[in-house]
Amino acid sequence: MHEIDKIDRRILNILQADGRITNLELADRIGAFSHGNQRAGLRRLLKEGYVSGFGARLDPHKLGFGLLVFIEVMLDKTTPEVFDKFAIVVKQAPSVLNAIWSPAASIISSRPGSRT
């Protein structure tokens, strides 16, 4: 894996704001001398894992979700097996948007009114 440079960072910033941008638009916005160089740089960033995926930002209000709730979960045991079981359950819950573990707390973003 190579160290990312200024152009790589520009590519990543643009992709983070607009993951659906065309390669040609991306090349124009970063000021690439050639479309091929930009595509090679993007392929490398993808291959090396700097970009873990592409997604869509959904409008929660149009989907009927007017409120985002953060929940703190405290487990009575903190063994690797308990964490693994908990992670499986959380990943299967459709209302869970995100789960963050820290030594201080496990935070789950969830939609109210849905069953987790």
Query: Which residue range is the domain that position 92 belongs to?
Result: 69-110
| Residue 89 included in any domain | yes
Helix (H, G, I), strand (E, B) or coil at 84: helix
**43 and 11 fall within a common domain:** yes
Indicate whether 15 belongs to any domain.
Answer: yes
C-alpha–C-alpha distance, residues 84 and 105, integer Å: 16
Could you give the CA distance from residue 25 to residue 51 in angstroms, rounded to a whole number? 18
| Residue 52 is assigned to a structural domain of this protein | no
Task: Write the CB contacts of 96 (distance below 8 Å, at least 6 apart in sequence).
Answer: 90, 108, 109, 110, 116
What CATH number does the domain containing 35 carry?
1.10.10
Statement to judge: residues 43 and 76 lie in one domain = no
Q: How do residues 24-76 score in pLDDT, each as one tens digit? A: 899 899 887 677 888 888 999 999 999 998 888 888 888 887 777 888 888 88
Question: Is 18 inside any structural domain?
Answer: yes
Q: What pTM did the predictor assign?
A: 0.56
Work out how many domains the chain is built from and give that number. 2
Instruction: List pLDDT tens digits, range 2-19.
Output: 889 988 999 999 999 999
